[in-house]
Structure 1
Amino acid sequence: MDLYLPSSVDRVSGHIAFIKACWKFTQTDISLEDVAGISANASEYFVDTRAVNSSTPVFVPLRLHREDVQNRIRDYRAFLGNFDDSQRYGIIINMYWVVMITWFAMCNKLKKTRWNEKIVSRRINFLRANISLPLLFGSHQTPFNMAPWLTTLLPTFGDSLVLLGYFALNVFFLFHNYKITEDNQLFGPNSNTLQTARYLADRAGVLSFAHFPLLVLFAGRNNILIGFSELPYATFMIFHKWTARVMVVHATLHTLAYLWMLWYKGSFAVFIHEWWFVMGVLAIVLGVLILLFAAHYFRVRFYEWFLVSHIVFALLFFISCWEHCVTFGWLDWIACAFAFWITDRLIRIYRLARFGAPRATIEHISDDTFKVSVKRPHNWKPYPGCFVFIHFLHWSIFWQSHPFTIVDSVLEDEQVTIYIKAKDGLTGQIAKLLSHTGQISMRVSLEGPYGNQSPCENYENVILFAGGNGIPGPFYHALHLAEGSRLLPKSKIRLIWIIRSVDSIKWFEPELKRLCRTKIQCDIYITRGFEASMVRANPLLSQFKHHITFHSGRAPSAKILHQEFELCSSSLAIVTCGPGMMCDEIRHVVAKSVEDVDYRVDLFEELQVW
């Protein structure tokens, strides 16, 4: 240090580091004065390292050759600098998402202003038609089938470009700026492969940890970014799944690179009993299992098993990652993720406590649909397009919750109504309880409301598509617009509902009667067992004949939209909520047609699938 550090400040810093090392490894306490004395005494007996036979013991002070010192400093900077680069790249990846979410926020908040109508031009419409609106491989809300057992939900084309930029950053940062040297002082000469493996292992490990905050934040129901960006929760779930996959890829590369190094150096048996090694292996196994059990095919068919495994495996994954690196560092990423997780859980508990656990009336209303009616607190107010996670407080299912759209009851003040289609799992169990009496009373708790309200009031024309049990959201929007005088008198509100049979009208009869008091244009398409002559003969239908137009068959969405595009001369909002195939078809038509109109057209999807 005294020979090669020209600055006295650097020499003192070096002496202090030497003193700390002495204490750490030998518990020897020495002072700066002691170091200065030892250095002065030893300088008289220095022998150059290149003049010493390295195979025999040496009992004299050694003077490191300047070139060797510089090379070692170079290699330490490359080795330790890789950790700094990895940390910096992980921060940049997180910042990429901040920038993208901010861009989405600006675009969505603009839709709530009158300026939105003026953002129309041939170039803008071209970009929207070819980038932001189109489907990716013809599917978004409908599962994309790569094989009978391999299905997934795809992002929109616009969202896929955001993910593509994210993938590109990860690939670039994974391999960028490795400083490999032929005469490396740490790994030995001719160790290029070993150096690359070590740098890759460390880089991949840190980048994997950098995904922890994104992973938890995107999955949280109370994700602050949802309100900020006004993106649907389903979009964040797509981002959550892809960041999880990239995280596990990084972790797998980290694991494979280290295993190869241990095999190459013959030290596998030495480290296999180390706690950090065991926890690292456990973490990667859990990460892979989480991805496998979260596959769309498994999640849809065995949702309850998916939910339990996801929670248990994720908790064990967090713990094993913490234990793996507790002596190495980078725990700040896990601590940040845990802060997001605990905040989300506390807010969820608060939301449940705020709603309470009132007794609800649950009644069977058609072959596969039942209705939940429950009183809400006075200061707990839903809004069009919102959804809640409902907990049925029965001993066998109280811990489960599922999302459903809700509406304020048209029959009773401060009461909310939820229409639920019975499937397997939770809703199937409720249907079984109803099979004996047709109506039961049970305490429930609603967590929410969640979701962003589509800004339909800022458009001159609104057309709402609903399919089956997806009617509550579009109906709530239509009623809110019509009765709240939110639009100009010349504006048009049209509600289109596609149902399988006349029975669906029976369970939604009170809401339809309320709709008839407004000027909303309503069309109902009945796909099975309906003919036009039934409108006069069936009392259920005849009461609506002056207000609602009934059609037989499936709604021709493309034809309806093209007619609306021709008739409209000012801004148009299109809202969809229903089967995924219907929503995807409408998105496809809008994307194909937006270049042909000279006014603003926006699509709002309120179907929540993940």
Structure 2
Amino acid sequence: MSSPTTGSASAEAVAEAAFHVYLEQRQIRNAKVLVHYAAGLSALIGVFIISHWLHLLAIRLGWSRKPIFLPFVAIARVSRRTFIQSLPGFTSVGHAVLVTAYVALNVLFSFYNVDYSKATDLCARFGWMATGNMVLVVFLALKNTPLAIFTAYSYERLNVLHQTAGYTTLLYTILHAAIYTAYFFKEGMVYILRLDIVTAGIILGFALLFSVLAGMTLRHIKYELFYVIHVALFVVIVVTLGLHRPNFNPDRTLYATVIIGALWFADRLIRFCRLVYNSINNEANVYALPNGGTRIVLKKPLLRARPGKHCYVWLPRIRAFETHPFTIVANEPMELVINTYSGFTKALHKYALKNPGASLKVSVEGPYGTLPDPMDFDRVVLVAGGSGATFTFGMAADMLARMSENSKQRIDFIWAVKGHENLSWFTQHLQNLSNHVHAPKIALKLHLTRFAPSSSINRDDSIERRSTSVASADMKPSNLERGNDNFAISGPGSSAVTRYESDKDEKDMEAMRHQEIPSAATSTTMLPIVHGRPDTEAEIRAAVESLSNDQRVLIAACGPSSLTKIVRDIGASYIKVDGPAVEVHCEQFGW
């Protein structure tokens, strides 16, 4: 007979073996759930891919003009009318629906096939879901995302989803850590919290917490500092995630860690190689503009670049270890116009003031951005606020360059700017549009939202107040509202420069009086300017109502969120089953 001691030891061995079997089964179960979760996310992405390509095919093949497709067109338009509208707390109704679907998938797979008789089973599931969502976070952060090819969403439009996935990952991490910690204290197993793999998990949790907090605070205050912290903490997260679950079998979480690291490294490698290649024999000239603007003119064009898209710029003389995104205004030569905020843009503007026209070593990386092709539309309405004109000028110039002589397409160019001095940022581009061979096909509508008293105008400046004939009928003085003026717009290097000065800008303006900017106008350009905000709804309504039911209109806007919200809602309201096809595209400051 076996002794009681032997029997007790045997029972403990059996219990320990059973526990290991349970752990292995739990790992297998959780791994399968994570695969199903990935499949659910893939299906959700697939819906957007299929919808995007069906939409493109409908445009290219003219399905909306064929009666047989009318029921499908009606469904698509009603859906788009709903999804495009803005919604408080979200970019749009469509964004809210997508977030809801994402949350539903997380809830489903968090509680599906969980053994609730085991105190730690649900806790383990939360850890697995955190790992799965971390892969999604990195995927949505990729600059060179495949979604830009297969859908209409480039990385900057996915950033809001990247943030949502980040918050979800943090929530799962907190729940995973809190439940396990409470369990270990309750069972008198505090010593487990001192194990190396648990210590790595604790560091991982705090790194993720600080990364999210930095995104919620520093991102809007000191973006450059946030970026450095964000990248550094990401490296900590990847390393500690690998140390927290260091085995490939039976625990599959290390595979997710490898995928995370590989995705991030591959994206960085692609961007680095592009920067190196585009830096070869490349230089940029920088010029300060009135009211805090800076123009960069590059020696070499960027492959596949189109005005309206954006690229990352590296100027080692200003910031040796930083790249920053800016919209491409023109291709030949490649030109960027930048507003001054803080950090890099402030340092660049100061350098341009002290060294007008200086040549700097430069490289660019990109291009990025997914834009609808304006050539697919009969009429294009471009709405810009302030420096958002970098986007609309690019789209307008690109469209005019691709137009044929017998093209019947029309462009409405609406630009609202606070001060007259900002107009000189784009003097050459305004001249190019108004003097272009296809100029009669574009209606330039400029609005000054801030009127400065006459005493604030430099005595040497000239303000022409006379009627001038312009290329577009909409620009004739007789068609303008009462109170419109024809202002002479010219660059800082011309004889007639209109600008309003403030005490803050006095030194900058003094420096710019003595510099020449090649891309600025050398002769006066007469363009009528309306004082006050544009009636965006009336402009869009007129454009839509001018088209027949079998025609298409693109409404594209760039500027602050208040502007894009208005354009989004107005554009959505004109998407009708029995009207012309309406497409709405909004770019927004900051990402």
C-alpha spacing 1:435/1:92, structure 2 compared with 1 (3 Å): same
Is contact 1:286–1:316 with CA below 8 Å preserved after alignment? yes
**What SS does structure 2 have at the residue aligned with 1:210?**
helix
The answer on 1:501 being equivalent to 2:452 is: no
Q: Which amino acid aligns with 2:6?
A: P
C-alpha spacing 1:488/1:247, structure 2 compared with 1 (3 Å): farther
Equivalent residue, structure 1, for 2:267: 344
The answer on 1:571 being equivalent to 2:519 is: no
Is contact 1:129–1:592 with CA below 8 Å preserved after alignment? yes
Residue correspondence of structure 1 range 507-586 to structure 2 within 5 A: 507-516=425-434, 517=436, 518=438, 519=440, 520-529=442-451, 534=465, 538-540=487-489, 544-545=525-526, 549-569=528-548, 570-586=551-567
> Equivalents in 2 of 1:89, 1:59: separation in Å?
37
Is contact 1:117–1:571 with CA below 8 Å preserved after alignment? no
C-alpha spacing 1:98/1:206, structure 2 compared with 1 (3 Å): same
Equivalent residue, structure 2, for 1:129: 81
Equivalent residue in structure 2 for 1:168, among 93, 104, 109? 104
Deviation for aligned residue 1:488: 6.8
**What SS does structure 2 have at the residue aligned with 1:398?**
coil
1:6-43 Cα deviation digits (max 9, x unpaired): xxxxxxxxxxxxxxxxxxxxxxxxxxxxxxxxxxxxxx
Equivalent residue in structure 2 for 1:219, among 134, 141, 145? 141
Equivalent residue, structure 2, for 1:306: 226
Equivalent residue, structure 2, for 1:283: 204
C-alpha spacing 1:266/1:174, structure 2 compared with 1 (3 Å): same
Deviation for aligned residue 1:494: 1.6
Deviation for aligned residue 1:289: 0.8
TM-score, length-scaled by structure 2: 0.80
Deviation for aligned residue 1:259: 0.7
**What SS does structure 1 have at the residue aligned with 2:391?**
helix
**What SS does structure 2 have at the residue aligned with 1:508?**
helix
Equivalent residue, structure 2, for 1:14: none
Equivalent residue in structure 2 for 1:372, among 283, 296, 312? 296
Is contact 2:81–2:573 with CA below 8 Å preserved after alignment? yes
Residue correspondence of structure 1 range 313-328 to structure 2 within 5 A: 313-327=233-247
Q: Which moved more, 1:325-334 or 1:102-111?
A: 102-111
Q: Which amino acid aligns with 2:271?
A: R
C-alpha spacing 1:277/1:61, structure 2 compared with 1 (3 Å): closer
Is contact 1:384–1:453 with CA below 8 Å preserved after alignment? no
> Equivalents in 2 of 1:595, 1:382: separation in Å?
34
Deviation for aligned residue 1:128: 1.9
1:585-607 Cα deviation digits (max 9, x unpaired): 10011223323752210111233
1:147-173 Cα deviation digits (max 9, x unpaired): xxxxxxx33221221121111111121
How many residue pairs end up in the alignment? 513
Equivalent residue, structure 2, for 1:442: 360
1:375-423 Cα deviation digits (max 9, x unpaired): 115x7241132100111112x61212221111335xxx4x211000011
Equivalent residue, structure 2, for 1:44: none
Q: Which moved more, 1:432-441 or 1:584-593?
A: 432-441
Equivalent residue, structure 1, for 2:570: 589
Equivalent residue in structure 2 for 1:293, among 200, 214, 218? 214
Residue correspondence of structure 1 range 85-124 to structure 2 within 5 A: 85-109=29-53, 110-111=55-56, 113-115=60-62, 117-118=64-65, 121-124=73-76
Is contact 2:140–2:159 with CA below 8 Å preserved after alignment? yes
Is contact 1:83–1:206 with CA below 8 Å preserved after alignment? no
Residue correspondence of structure 1 range 127-206 to structure 2 within 5 A: 127-130=79-82, 132-137=83-88, 154-180=90-116, 192=117, 195=118, 197-206=119-128
Deviation for aligned residue 1:105: 2.6
> Equivalents in 1 of 2:155, 2:210: separation in Å?
24
Equivalent residue in structure 2 for 1:240, among 162, 185, 202? 162
Is contact 1:352–1:447 with CA below 8 Å preserved after alignment? yes
Is contact 2:278–2:365 with CA below 8 Å preserved after alignment? yes
> Equivalents in 2 of 1:59, 1:169: separation in Å?
46
> Equivalents in 1 of 2:235, 2:228: separation in Å?
11
Deviation for aligned residue 1:108: 2.9
Deviation for aligned residue 1:334: 0.9
**What SS does structure 1 have at the residue aligned with 2:364?**
strand
Q: State the percentage of identical aligned residues.
A: 21
Q: Which moved more, 1:86-95 or 1:278-287?
A: 86-95
> Equivalents in 1 of 2:414, 2:199: separation in Å?
58
User: What CA RMSD, in Å, does the superposition of the two structures yield over aligned residues?
Assistant: 3.0
> Equivalents in 2 of 1:175, 1:325: separation in Å?
22
Equivalent residue, structure 2, for 1:10: none
Is contact 2:309–2:391 with CA below 8 Å preserved after alignment? yes
**What SS does structure 2 have at the residue aligned with 1:113?**
helix
Deviation for aligned residue 1:495: 1.3
Equivalent residue in structure 2 for 1:601, among 582, 586, 591? 582
> Equivalents in 2 of 1:473, 1:246: separation in Å?
33
Deviation for aligned residue 1:122: 4.4
Larger C-alpha radius of gyration, 1 or 2? Answer: 1
Q: Which amino acid aligns with 2:106?
A: N
> Equivalents in 2 of 1:514, 1:59: separation in Å?
92
Residue correspondence of structure 1 range 253-264 to structure 2 within 5 A: 253-264=175-186
> Equivalents in 1 of 2:562, 2:573: separation in Å?
17
Is contact 1:393–1:443 with CA below 8 Å preserved after alignment? yes
For structure 1, which runs of at least 5 residues remain unmatched after alignment?
1-46, 138-143, 145-153, 181-191
For structure 2, which runs of at least 5 residues remain unmatched after alignment?
454-462, 468-485, 491-522
> Equivalents in 2 of 1:457, 1:106: separation in Å?
22
Deviation for aligned residue 1:294: 0.8
Is contact 1:565–1:597 with CA below 8 Å preserved after alignment? no
